[in-house]
Amino acid sequence: MKVLITGVTGYIGSHLAKILHSRGYHITGLDKNWEQNPVQKYCERILIKDVLNYIMDEEYDAVVHLAGLIQVEESVRRPSIYYGTNLGSTQKLLSQIGHDTHFIFASTAGAFDPVNPYARSKIAAEDIIKERADNYTIFRFFNVAGSDGVNMQVGRSSHLIRRAAEAAADKRLNLTIFGEDYDTPDGTCIRDYIHVVDLATAIADTLETGPFNSPYECIGSGKGYSVKEVVDAMKKVTGKDFKVEYGTRRDGDPAKLAIDNQFSLLKPIHTLEQMCKSAYEAELRRK
């Protein structure tokens, strides 16, 4: 099977490419960031381009569209950039795929409570896919964390588990919790966390099974954890009592996002503690 992965050098893309390579897939990787990236060894073709400027020069059995902008705070400040990129890149790819191509899209659990432009841009892309694609699977990812021991999150850290791992690894002076006055048991936001390997495996299994053509499929562990619970888990597995401070709420953060209808092919095997431990070990490896 020939698969195009957009955003292949990113966090999810690099893990997925490794799994698909081990299963014998022919992978074309599309990304604008390639310098010294280990994912190159998993790809038969490498395309160094922005998705918005990409012209497809061959047919694929499947396209896994992972590229996009994901920072909630930034989307509040610059909504036009998020709509232009997240919606525009999806339209660009859909205009070029074949009739039988399976289009897999990385959406967000934020679409359940779309209080920011990032989430709304993903919902708009979902709508376009349902209109224009014959074969598709839309995934709404919950918070992705952890590492396979080789690949890791790239770019600026914005997600809780990575930031907590940085604090445990003495790469930041303290960890800031944004808001402790939410309507939750301990006052902090609740999120569902999924290990990146469990998520990437579910995508790979979907490529083998075929398109679902459903409104969306949820990828999460099935359990919600508060920010304080995640911090406590990181401290426990690392043995590091790093400093924690409290700040004001961030714009666009809902109080709770947790899964209620799990994707049928998803079989999560990693615990929150394993996500924290592998994220911490990744930070120790990071130069």
Active site residue 54: no
CA separation for the pair 13, 8 (Å, rounded)? 4
pLDDT in tens, 228-281: 999 999 999 999 999 999 999 988 888 998 887 889 999 999 999 999 999 999
- Which has more pLDDT, 96 or 71? 96
Helices vs. strands in the chain: H and E counts, helices first: 9, 13
Among the listed residues 251, 207, 235, 234, the one whose alpha carbon sits nearest the alpha carbon of residue 64: 207
Rounded to the nearest 10 degrees, the angle between the axes of helix 272-285 and helix 160-168 is 60
Per annotation, catalytic residue among 118, 182, 225, 280: 118
CA separation for the pair 233, 255 (Å, rounded)? 20
Please give the share of the chain, as a percent, with pLDDT higher than 70: 99
Tokens of 219: 């990828």
pTM above 0.75, yes or no: yes
CA separation for the pair 82, 78 (Å, rounded)? 7
pLDDT in tens, 10-67: 999 999 999 999 999 999 999 998 766 788 899 999 999 999 999 999 999 999 999 9
pLDDT at 36: 61
Among the listed residues 33, 275, 286, the one whose alpha carbon sits nearest the alpha carbon of residue 161: 275
Taken in order of first residue, the domains within the chain and their CATH numbers are: 2-285 (3.40.50.720)
